[in-house]
Structure 1
Amino acid sequence: MFRRRLTLVIAISFGFVLTMGGTMFWETNQVAGYFQRSQRAYEAFDHYQRLSLEAYRHFKERLDRLITDSPAAQAGVDTSKQHLYDAVSALRATAVQPSAEDRSDWSGKSAELERVAHFTAFLDASKYRFDEVERLRQQGKREKATQLLSKFSEEEIDGKFQPLIDVAINAERAKADKAREELEALVKRSRWLAIGSALLAAAFSLTSGLYLMRGLRKPLEALMAGTNEIASGNLRYRLALDSGDEFAYLAKHFNQMAQELERQQEKLRKGRSVLERRVAERTQELRQLNEELQRLDNARREFFADISHELRTPITVIRGEAEVTLRGRERDPEEYQDALHRIVELSEQLGKYVNDLLFMARAETTMMQFEWDGLDFAELIGGAIEDFKVMAEENALSVSLRLPDHPVWVRGDKQRLRQVLFILGDNACRYSNPDGHIAAALVVENGEAVFSLSDQGIGIPAGDLERIFDRHFRSENALHSRDDGTGLGLPMAKSILKAHGGRISVSSTESAGSTFTIALPLSKQSPTG
């Protein structure tokens, strides 16, 4: 609807401007035509005046030539004659010049051409009369020549030429006056037309402005009110415009936007509630984790207290055994041997506690020291397996080893890597069934030295495989099999291998055995290379 109104106003305005432009163009052409006619009339008027002046000057020179027979008089006649014919040529050129305005007045054009023809004929006849007078003068008949010249002057010049000149001048003056009057009338009419057009344009502008404003005021006020409501946070506000025009379409989309904003705000509100709930949950989880950390810290404190107690017990027993053995009478050698055996066992147990405590302290403070060097991993494994065989014989276990026939160079701490091998070998011997077999092998794969150790022991439950490298963790079957473990051996091995850039993994089947695999990156060159 509003678009049609605007299109109608634009079309009327365009038609009005086009009409005014056409009218002004026509008026301008008319003014230019009248001005040109006036200019041509004044130009013809000037040509006739020049013709009259040059004609009388020529006639005077002719009279002077009759009175004084001198070369200067003859030169004056020739000069005035040339000027006279130049004036006639200029008048003829003006008369025959085509003009768009003159095409509407062919009668006036014909009269002007006829006057020019009369002037030309009169000048030709006057030339003949003057030549006749000149011939009489040359024959010595001055009196007769003078009479003929006087008669020509009275009858032809004064009686015919001068009236003809006067008529032509008056005609051109009348044409100029008429053109000037028409031009003034046209200018006056154009002035009133401009005033009328301006008044009409002002009236049309005011009317069309009021017409458009009446259609704009209500929807604009409604849209402004709607934007103010939305800006203030009232997303439930809806515009009510049923005008059926573009503003109604805009109001519809405005309402859709408000509805979408309201829906998004509701989603944000729900999302904030969910976020607050999740933050509360995470806070609760952090609180639980903090409690778990406190519990672990308490457990560590208890562990240290237990270790301290366990350390005090062997030391006290050792000291007591030694004091009892040394106190009193002489004893049999067997009694001394029994006491020494008990002291050795307690010392071994004490040494194990000390090593476990030392490892835990170093792991907690990241103070483990390494002495890096290039070493033959195959040679190191061979020596460690020989020590395993001693432990294996006590449990009636057999040990096999498969090594490559060339050195396998790695970079690391020899004593730390030996400690890793002892941890794996000790576990294999401790948790293997009697008459079992331990298989060890070293291979080179993908730029790594890969060592595997398999036993036929109690195995590890599938649910515990991911936790056996955690500190202090021991699987249920290990707890039932032996109660002298602390759960620090495998975490210690993992820490040592990680420091070497290696890794450790395990595969196991409960009651069937386990296979531990370690991998170390190969050294690029031997120590002597």
Structure 2
Amino acid sequence: MRWGLFHKLMFTYLVVVLITVVTLGGAFYQLLTTYTINAKQEELVEEGLQLNQVTAGFLTGMTDKRSFSSLLAVLDRFTGARVWVVDKTGLIILASQEMGFARGRLYSFRGLRLDPEETRQVLAGNIVRLRGQSPRFNEPVLTVAVPVTTTGEPGTGEVLGAIFLNAPITGVTATAARLFHYLVWAALLAGVISTLLGVYLSRTISRPLREMRQAALAMSGGDYRTRIRAEGSDEVGELARAFNDLANGLEQSMEALHEEKGKLDSMLSSMSEGVVAVDREGKLMRLNPAAENLLGVSEAQASGLDWREVLPVRELVDLFQETLDKGQILTGTFELGAQKMAASVSPILTVQREVLGAVAVLKDISQAERLEQMRREFVANASHELRTPLTVIRGYNDALLEGVVTDPEKRKSYHLSIREETMRLERLVRNLLDLSRLQGGKVEVEMVPLDLKGVIEATATKMAGAARAREISIDMRLPDTLPQVIGNEDRLTQLLIILLDNAVQFSHPGGEVVIRAEEKQEEVWASIADQGVGIPTEHLPFIWERFYKVDKARTRSGTGTGLGLAIAREIVKLHQGNIWVESQPGKGTTFTFSLKTVKTV
């Protein structure tokens, strides 16, 4: 038989009421019985203490036996307890009732000697309380034994005997039994009332819930427009209103989910990193455009295929498989053609931490790897450039200090070498600081209209001596006039010296360095071409880096610091111009820079 909510609620009400009444009734009955018995025991103790001094007089012969027996009879009648007076040997010498009936026979209490175990504690001066079945009565009794002393106070003086007071438990518990009887009737009445209330409340709650069930079934079919009537201000009415709010929320949530899906698609499409998602069963679920470009396959083609066949790199397949097996985020790198890729694969987990699939983010780190390599080379080159002159300076200085060199000419030569290496270090540090300030935008120069032709001629004249020393000629092929440019004469001179020095240093003896300049597109283009060893094409993008060396053939034997071209590029940037290079190995190199003319500023 299937029970509805109505029957369940009503049955629950009845069971709760019944359990509550029975539990409280039993506890109350037990508490009342215990309290009544304890109160009776304390009453008997109090009566025994009050009788103590009179009993002491009786045991010492100071109180008449007749009057004392009458006192015991009165105490028996008012307390319902049988009173015995016992001497120090445990012999009952006087009782409030002489005769007693127990275990099917009639016997006299007076002259009866109690067992030593019954009298040991009380004759030792202690008040004794006992409850239970006694061999001298046909029913359970409460027994209180009070020691009788010469002072009339227990615990002081000599113990003369004891007073035993025995009260039947039946009379003590009769009151508790009557109260429990009343409690049973109250429980039956509560059960009837609870049944009526349960019927009413169960119908009040179950009726609107049945209506909600019908509405919920309609919503499960996709009809989120279903609403129910919300009547009353109690919890059921609030539940009905909450149900309607839930329907509104679900309708809005479905719309929001469609919007979020569109946003997610847009985000994945705009990411520069590739995103690949796979499921536990081995099917490829998602590829964004960046991943499509990296892997060379479209999402439409790969969707539903085994991702182990779609992914072109074994390292990436292994990362996915390990993530699916362990449920942990893993990272790794791999080669994809000429590109160096970094992958971070994360598991897709349920609330119970079960792995549903995995998603990977792929990033091209080729440029970052190149930058890191250039950084390491810069540190190595800088260390080398600093160590070489320091080694020379230390070696020559040690020789001079130790007196190894005594010839004046050699000593002078050593001093000159130390000076040259010191100046080389000074140029290196100065160039490093200059480059750092230029790259950090901390150089402030005055920009004024300049005659670039005059600056070129003056700089070529300065470099003529160095060129002749290497048997190199400098040929200036400049037009008669050039428009003025906006610039700083000192910095442009520094730029020309760097380019001319490079051209002279890397030209073959007997070669020629040609300087050209012309106006193009409201700019002045100046170029310096040599006929030297040239630069391989693959090295051209990196020659502007600090200390960059193409190969050993490009390592100069002169006094350069390896920072010239880096400084040259920053000087051109400072002038808001451009600089570039063209070169053919074995035929020569041409550096060209452009500056804005005055009329374009």
Q: Which has the higher contact order (CA 8 A, sep 6+)?
A: 1
Say yes or no: TM over 0.5.
Answer: no
Larger radius of gyration: 1
Q: Which has the higher helix share?
A: 1
Instruction: Give the shorter-chain TM-score range.
Output: 0.3 to 0.5
Q: Which has the higher strand share?
A: 2
